[in-house]
Structure 1
Amino acid sequence: MPKLKFLLVPLLVVVAAGLGVWLHAADRSAGDTWHSAGTEVPDRIDVYATVQRIDAAGREAVLRVLAVPRGRFGEDDGAAPTAELRLLNSSSLRGDQVFPAHQRISGADLPIALSGGTVTDYPFDSYDAKIQFAAEMNGEQAPVLFTLDKVDSLFGLSVHAYEAANGVGGAEVRFSRSGGVLIFAVFMMITMWGLAIAVLLGAKHLVSRRRGLVWPSFGFMAATLFALAGFRNIAPGTPPIGSLLDYTAFYWAEAVIAVSVVVAVVAGAITERANAEPR
């Protein structure tokens, strides 16, 4: 039996580590997924857009966009356009991009406005965006092949509809918190409630047993009160105060701990005073 217990601990560690590796692989595979829409004719403009970051509080997504002219529209293996290239986009935050003829094209960061959702729903908030690109070469519309992927590890990306008509390439996308963020946020909620219940049980023991002023116990309780605030502030994505995380766990945990400390100290002081009085 002791040998079985000795082997059980390493086995549980291996299982937990294996589960973590599997979750990481699944989250990474979802993050490496790319989507494309448009036409694949030889003469076209390839538009590569990568989601660099999602600013939930500012309600915008930042895309790094690179246009590559193909066929008769490009030269030097797509590094430069043969004529003036105008890249039209759906961003309401910045105008269209213009690339002079025969000059090397460089990538640019493009902000896209987000709709729907609110950051106070963290960690279950999600946002929608309509991303579209069209192109013109010397006033002539050029077909577009649009490719979208992401590098922001805090959000997942899913496509609801594709736009691939009249030379336009685009997609209607939804950004939601990644699996890693959801797991950590739920872990934070459980931990907050666990610490609050632990302090409550400790205070109940001190009061019911009339232990008086047990300063090491009070130090642990008070430290937990302030430690939870720091713990809450490391939530991935830095959610604002007043989010769902706060209303379901943080506020309640802080209230339970604060009341437990006050009640335990007051009851302990009363007990110490009663014990000190001459009989």
Structure 2
Amino acid sequence: MAMMRRPTRSRGRLLIAGLVLCAVAAAVTVGVWLQFGERHDLDTRYRAGGDAPDRVDITASVQRVDAAGRELTLRLLVTPRGDLAEAGGVAPAESLTLQTSADVRGDLTFPAHSRISTVDVPVTLTAGSITDYPFDAYDTDLEFGAVQGGEAVPVRMTLTNNDALFAATVEASEANGAAVFYVGIGRSTSVLIFAVFMMAAMWALAIAVLIGAWFLLSRRKGLTWPALGWMAATLFALAAFRNTAPGAPPIGSLLDYIAFLWAETVIAFCVITVVVMGMRAESHPSPDPPASP
């Protein structure tokens, strides 16, 4: 019988080990797939405008999204082409003005015969609120037209997103020689996954503390200091854990109302209840059972 049980146990252990390895491999595969998707989104280029030989090329990239300030920073590199440029596109042949949409703060002017360098432009975000974190989303409209020598000139514009904490959905089009982009901004997949994990972890810790408190109270354990230390440490550790949320959301966001504030309330209630009931148990200990004859 002992010889028959050993192979069965060995097979069971091998099966468990195989399942664990399969789970790890599946998790790694999903992680690689998600990371590849985010990398693909960051490498995606959105283009609007024609290929006229005499045009203005604009390379734009979203450098940083400030959800609290409701604006994003757009880095622009303007390069005139053909007869509009001199010195290989480094400088415009005549004064060049970029006319922008209302969400972009102000038009840009580049003097003739002067070298053009990159410039950072603030862009206002509309709709959405950071208190909806991590499900907040924003919109903005980008439109860039060019005027040189008093005449409108065609524009070709390329837009990319370099902020890994946000994902961009873009609709590109052309209108009367101007490049138009309708941009939607939302949290990236990695931020959403981590934020959801944080909320689940907060509730799991709160439930664990609640179960521990019920065990101490139901068995009248009194003031069990190691357990109280663990509960109090969890109370303060959750606050530090919450502050690691990507993007530093302000207090009062959806993350807090779904998980953080409730978890803190449950843990604080458990700590206070265990202390109060533990003091009562210590003050009125249960009588020892009578000794058996």
TM-score normalised by structure 2 residue count:
0.91
Unaligned residue ranges in structure 1 (runs of 5+): none
- 2:54 pairs with 1:19: no
Displacement of 1:9 in angstroms is: 2.9
Count of residues in correspondence between the two structures:
278
Conserved 8 A contact 1:132-1:163: no
Displacement of 1:75 in angstroms is: 2.5
Task: Choose the corresponding residue for 2:208, options 198, 201, 216.
Answer: 198
- C-alpha distance in 2, partners of 1:11/1:147? 43
Task: Choose the corresponding residue for 1:118, options 107, 116, 129.
Answer: 129
Q: Describe how 1:115-264 pairs up with structure 2 within 5 A.
A: 115-159=126-170, 161-264=171-274
- C-alpha distance in 1, partners of 2:20/2:50? 56
3-state SS in 2 of match to 1:234: coil
Could you report, residue by residue, the CA deviation over 1:240-279 in whole angstroms, capped at 9, with x for unpaired residues?
Answer: 1000000000010000000011111111111111118899
Conserved 8 A contact 1:48-1:67: yes
- C-alpha distance in 1, partners of 2:213/2:272? 9
Moved more, 106-115 or 4-13: 4-13
Displacement of 1:148 in angstroms is: 0.8
Task: State the match for 1:55 in structure 2.
Answer: 66
Conserved 8 A contact 1:50-1:150: yes
Displacement of 1:118 in angstroms is: 0.6
* Amino acid corresponding to residue 260 of structure 1 in structure 2: C
Task: State the match for 1:34 in structure 2.
Answer: 45
Conserved 8 A contact 2:94-2:112: yes
Identity %: 53
Displacement of 1:38 in angstroms is: 1.7
Conserved 8 A contact 2:49-2:179: yes
TM-score normalised by structure 1 residue count:
0.95
Could you report, residue by residue, the CA deviation over 1:91-126 in whole angstroms, capped at 9, with x for unpaired residues?
Answer: 556322221222221010000001000110001110
Displacement of 1:79 in angstroms is: 1.7
Displacement of 1:163 in angstroms is: 3.9
Conserved 8 A contact 1:39-1:144: yes
- C-alpha distance in 2, partners of 1:247/1:92? 32
Conserved 8 A contact 1:65-1:109: yes
Moved more, 1-10 or 127-136: 1-10
Task: State the match for 2:120 in structure 1.
Answer: 109
Conserved 8 A contact 1:91-1:110: no
Could you report, residue by residue, the CA deviation over 1:216-261 in whole angstroms, capped at 9, with x for unpaired residues?
Answer: 0000000000000010011001111000000000010000000011
Q: Which has the larger radius of gyration?
A: 2
* Amino acid corresponding to residue 173 of structure 1 in structure 2: V
Conserved 8 A contact 2:97-2:109: yes
Conserved 8 A contact 2:126-2:139: yes
